[in-house]
Structure 1
Amino acid sequence: MAIESKKRMKFRIIMIFMFFFVLFVALISRAFQLQVLSGQKLKKLATRQHTTVLQLQPERGIIYDRNGEKLAISIMADSVCADPSKVIDPAKASKQIAYILGLDSQAVYKKLSAPRNFCWLARRISPEQTAAVVKADVEGVFLVKEPKRFYPNGELAAHLLGFVGLDASGLEGLEKKYNDSLVGSPEKLEWARDAKGKKLFLRVEKTQTAKNENTNLVLTIDNRIQYLVETHLKEAVIEKGAKGGLAIVMDPKTGEILALANQIGFNPNNIQGLSPERWRNRAITDYYDPGSTFKPFLVAAALEEKVIREQDRFFCENGNYRIADRVIHEANRKRYGTLTVREILKYSSNIGSAKIAQKMGKEKFYNYIQKFGFGSKTGIDLPGESSGLVRPVRDWVKVDTSMIAFGQGISVTAIQLISAVSAIANNGVLMKPYIVRGIADQDNRLVKLYTPTVVRQVISPRVAKSVTNMLMDVVGAEDGTGKNAKIVNVAVAGKTGTSQK
């Protein structure tokens, strides 16, 4: 009996041992799973439960003109946040804050009474509003510093620069085109919370490489030339009672844009209430019939193809020339008899131009239209460029060749037109227009330099020089259509034209 009792006792001890052994193995396995297999996942979950992270937008790089003048910078401004769980009286607080910030009190109350620990009330407020918020000292409402984009010259070059949104991302112009180069790494505002969600302390976290990530832009624009162009363009628009105007200054030898202006302008520091029509860069987006400014390209093409000579004479039908079912007239009902090629440009004869185009033929004419860059984008480094409108030559009817000769039935952009004219001024070489001269690091050392790009040789230097001399007559001669553009002791070549949108 004693032996049997001992066996039962031994069995019980073994069973208890086995039970605790299995329990120990289970605990060790569970600990291994929690600490090793699922450790990182659970750590992240715990961190998310006990901390709140607010991502603050980074400072953007500076935009300089070619002379080092700052066109766009970032300044620090205050933004208003709130922790609704800390607001004692949401109704009273919402009225105070709404009055200071010019907001709807009901909208503010809705935010402050929500069951959460964070909300934005206003972003990048004025210094006066900051002072008022500090003075009000509302429990649960606090200020956070954020970078704000600022354009020191207001409207100057606004259509080129563009602007940014609340998230500091570029929305228009160079700010949009070069957003990846200008934007830096964001800062993180982090605070710990206790079990009830109450804020314990704040900590600002910044990535190690943030300092070197954003870069600065150096433009081809000359701030002084830009100012003069915008000033005179605005005066001209007002004087003529026009709805708007465009002006571009380009270096024909390099393709660098020295100034590009649109009227009516806008202030990128305050775009509230403005429509996209106001900030659209019409110099690259809008296209229109070029009118008589297109005639130099016709003459250049005909001379290059040797279908005419400079001294050739054309009878201009005394102001009336019928082609198919159309009758072509001269501008302002002028009447010309026989004119040389030079005189056709100087007096801007529609009929003379139509006869030159007929002599050359539509296929050759169309070929040179394409060579001068019409009908395709120039590739300028700005967003939203249009390619204009050039119908395929197979779709031209009999009258089209003559109409396009004086700039009707074809639509071009302002940037296409100045690029093509610059090809004539540059010995027949078409250059790609560009705005950004280089990209610099935070110490303003160039890390990338953009150089002039040759597109193609359109006409020979001989023909280019010949056409340039003819265009100098347009401005320099007392009876030239462009005589009002004459500058004493300066050789000016140009061409007048009446465009149709």
Structure 2
Amino acid sequence: MAERGRLPRSGRTTDPFRPALQVLDGGDTAPRARGRNQGAREADEDGTDARRSQREPAAPRTKSAPRTKKEPEAAPRRRQPTRPEKRPERKPEKARRPEKRVPAEPPKLANSTRRLRLGTVLALSLFVMIGVRLVVLQVATSPDEAASLLELRERRLSTVELPAPRGSILDRSGAVLAHSVEARYVYVDPENANLQKDVPGTAAKLAPLLRIQQSKLIELMQRKQSLGRWLKFRYLARGVDVAVADKIEAMRLPGIYTHTDERRDVPGKDLAANLIGFTGDDHHGLEGLEARYDELLHGTDGKRVFEVGKGSLGAPIPGGYERYTAAQPGNSLQLTIDRYVQYEVQRILDAQAEKNKATVAGAVVLDARTGEVLAQASYPAYNAAKPEAYDAQERIDVPTSVVTDPGSSHKAFIFGAALQEGLIKPDSTLTIGPALERGGEAFKDTHPQPKGTEMTMPGLLAYSSNVGTILIGEKLGKEKIYEYQQKFGLGQATGEGMPGEAEGMLLKPEDWSGSAPGSVPIGHSVSATLIQMAAAYGAIANDGTYIQPHLIKSTISGADGKVTPAAEPKTHKVLEPAVASQLRTMMEAVVDAKGGTGGAAAVTGYRVAGKTGTGKMLIDGQYTSHNASSFIGMAPAEDPRYVIAVSMDVATGGGGDVAAPAFSEMMSYTLLHYFVPPSGTKPPTFKIHP
């Protein structure tokens, strides 16, 4: 029977946390449940340390009734200790809290370390397998097997070109001169099995819609290799109307597809067509500004590569391989051209050229202060939307391509150089005769003067005296003449922006023949384009400073619309401002003096300065029998705003008869269009003879 209490043993204090002993069945103790960390602390209840309790395990005790001091009573024990225990006094311990039990070890699969190690092993194994496979493919695979794999891959891939939107060509105000409109292109996949079953039948259905011969379509649909690969994409037609493309799509012809495309549209048809040019079926420029700035306008084409099914499927595989490269749109080109001035100049040039039965004709309108080309016209013109309907010679830009002897319009440079060098003055006079001879060749005047006739400088210009100009040229000398020809921009292309611009030709001093002192000053043995002559007169109008003529005002980014102004034109000094002013006044005599060669160039309300010219057009190094008749002038003469040059190749007639009337109409319109006020002063009165 278990006893419910115990007596304190002598020599120790009572421990309230010590569990009571139980005596069962005659004194045998029941096993005591212990925690892992409690055994070491509770092994010796009598105060001995853990080491001693391990050496001498405590004997079990039995519980008895409590003893009194007089009659102590020992509790019965099963066995007595072999030796008395000495229990040293120990200080009372502080009560300790029972420690927490350590949780059971988690399952092996829940161990994070084991999971990390397992994942690392699996990843390394995967990389090893991939590496081994790559080695096998690159080393162990034979060239034939590799080629077979590449061929299988290529057969599954189809490539479709994505044309880049081409930039527009605009006039100075932003009006469209040429742009691209939405269209479609039609292409064929020659590797389509169903197509190859009936190529002639498919071609017959497409021929009337695409307006292409059936035989040509059949040829395009045949299987063909290029660089060892079977082509899966070939254009059948480009620039197809959207409505026509929709009809083709509705027919669902095997291997025939359509895609977004564009077509070049020229709203003005022949307006500035010789300048703008045109593009080919591949949307690349072939002539004019379209060709010169093709890289800027065209942009970068895109591409779509995708995986297609085999056999009769021949269509993109949903979820299959696909690579898409977006097209980068081209930039737009803003010109200095004013479409209103361009239209009127073309109209006047066409009318005068028809009237005078000219073979070719050209006209240029320059802003004297900036060098901007406001109009540049050619005769004959053509419809840039249908360039194939015109001969190549009908599509040239006359002002930059046709080279002629400038004739008497070159004389202004000789007078200007002589004024600049101090060899003559505006009030100087010169004694001349009806003709003179140089190098065995006679040079006569169209207004012959008796021998010993004295004439003023304005009078020599008004009558376009060959004799007087030759004599002034001899004062300059051939080196100075050549120097000033170059300063006025002759002998080199202006770089205004047109492709294939001619440079003209100058006769170097060492190449002068015996007759050159007579021919060069009056504009023969010299060749130049109309744009060169217009720019040279622009220097006279701009107080002696030459400004490079230019057609490009700015570029407009196709990506973000950012406007970038064109580079500043090159400039250089030719004459002093005072000399240029004197020369302009002298040149007014050509228009205003009685009997002057340029009277037909007068503009009501405005003072005009200019010069007539009659030379020969040069074709393949040979002069034609026609006259290259021209007039180049500026207005208002006292403060020039615009320079206009007109030239026509005619069978008969000089610059004053052929070109001067056209100049007058063009200048009148230009001045009114830009609201230039009339001249506030009248031209001076000129004397031909002192």
TM-score above 0.5, yes or no = yes
Return the match for 1:75 from 181, 189, 196. Answer: 181
Contact 1:74–1:147 (Cα < 8 Å) also in 2: yes
Q: Is 1:309 aligned with 2:309?
A: no
Task: Give, as a single letter, the amino acid of the residue that structure 1 aligns with 2:525.
Answer: G
Separation in 1, partners of 2:127, 2:535:
81
- State percent identity of aligned pairs: 29
TM-superposed CA distance for 1:185, in Å, is: 2.7
- Cα distance in 1, alignment partners of residues 209 and 340 from structure 2: 40
In the alignment, the residues of structure 2 paired with residue 355 and residue 28 of structure 1 have an alpha-carbon distance, to the nearest angstrom, of: 93
Structure 1 residues 461, 192: closer, same or farther in 2, change over 3 A? same
Q: Distance in 2 between matches of 1:356 and 1:243?
A: 35
Q: TM-score normalised to the size of structure 1?
A: 0.86
2:600 matched residue in structure 1: 484
Structure 2 CA distance for partners of 1:447 and 1:113, relative to 1, 3 Å: closer
Q: Do the aligned residues in 2 keep the contact of 1:438 with 1:446 (CA within 8 Å)?
A: no
TM-score with structure 2 length normalisation?
A: 0.64
Which of 578, 585, 591 is the matching residue for 1:469?
A: 585
State which structure, 1 or 2, has the greater radius of gyration over its C-alpha atoms. 2
Work out which of the residue numbers 488, 495, 498 in structure 2 matches 1:372. 488
Residue in structure 1 matched with residue 309 of structure 2 by the alignment: 194
Q: Deviation per CA, 1:318-363, whole angstroms, max 9, x where unpaired? A: x2222231111123x6446332111111111111111111122111
CA contact (8 A) 1:262 1:281 kept: yes
Do the aligned residues in 2 keep the contact of 1:354 with 1:402 (CA within 8 Å)?
Answer: yes
Query: 1:375 touches 1:388 (CA, 8 Å); kept in 2?
Result: yes
CA distance in 2, matches of 1:28, 1:458: 76
CA distance in 1, matches of 2:439, 2:308: 84
1:161 maps to 2:276: yes
Q: Is the 8 A contact 2:426 2:586 kept in 1?
A: no
Partners of 1:493 and 1:326 in 2: CA distance: 32
Residue 266 (str. 1) matches residue 372 (str. 2):
no
State the alpha-carbon separation in 1 of the partners of residues 138 and 198 from structure 2.
46
1:31 CA drift (Å)? 1.1
Partner of 1:96: 205
CA separation of 1:444 and 1:352: change in aligned 2, threshold 3 A: farther
Structure 1 counterpart of 2:356: 240
Q: Distance in 2 between matches of 1:202 and 1:262?
A: 55
Could you tell me how far apart the structure 1 residues matched to 2:172 and 2:551 are?
10
Pick closer, same or farther for the CA change 1:461–1:92 going to 2, 3 Å.
same
Q: How far 1:36 moved relative to its partner?
A: 9.8
Aligned counterparts of 1:108 and 1:185: Cα–Cα separation in 2: 28
Equivalent of 1:56 in 162, 165, 168: 162
Task: Quote how far apart the aligned CAs of 1:393 are.
Answer: 0.8
Judge which range, 359-368 or 270-279, deviates more. Answer: 270-279
Please tell me whether the aligned partners of residues 373 and 551 of structure 2 are also in contact (alpha carbons under 8 angstroms): yes
Offset at 1:131?
5.9
Pick closer, same or farther for the CA change 1:423–1:202 going to 2, 3 Å: farther
Q: Is the CA contact (8 Å cut-off) linking 2:550 and 2:569 kept in structure 1?
A: no
Unaligned runs of 5+ in 2: 1-125, 141-145, 225-230, 618-690
SS in 1 for 2:611: coil
Q: Does residue 381 in structure 1 map to residue 490 in structure 2?
A: no
Q: Spell out the pairing of 1:29-428 with structure 2 (5 A cutoff).
A: 30-33=132-135, 47-84=153-190, 85=192, 86-87=194-195, 88-114=197-223, 117-126=232-241, 129-130=244-245, 133=248, 138-196=253-311, 198-201=313-316, 207=325, 210=327, 214-317=330-433, 319-331=434-446, 334-335=448-449, 337-428=453-544
SS in 2 for 1:364: helix
How far apart, CA to CA, are the structure 2 residues paired with 1:439 and 1:237?
34
Answer 1 or 2: higher relative contact order, Cα 8 Å, separation at least 6: 1
Query: Residue type matched to 1:472 in 2?
Result: E
Question: Is residue 498 of structure 1 aligned with residue 614 of structure 2?
Answer: yes
2:212 is matched by which residue type in structure 1? L
5+ unaligned residues in a row in structure 1: which ranges? 1-23
Q: Secondary structure at the match of 2:615?
A: coil
Cα 1:410–1:45 shift into 2, 3 Å: same
Contact in 1 for aligned 2:308/2:317 (Cα 8 Å): no
Q: Counting helix residues as a fraction of each chain, which structure ranks higher?
A: 1
Relative distance call for 1:444 and 1:459 in structure 2 (3 A) is: farther
Distance in 2 (CA, whole Å) between partners of 1:266 and 1:444 is: 34
Could you say if the C-alpha distance between residues 162 and 44 of structure 1 is closer, same or farther in structure 2, counting changes exceeding 3 Å? farther
CA RMSD of aligned residues (A): 3.0
1:198 shift after superposition: 4.1
Residues in 2 aligned to 1:463 and 1:113: alpha-carbon distance in whole angstroms: 73
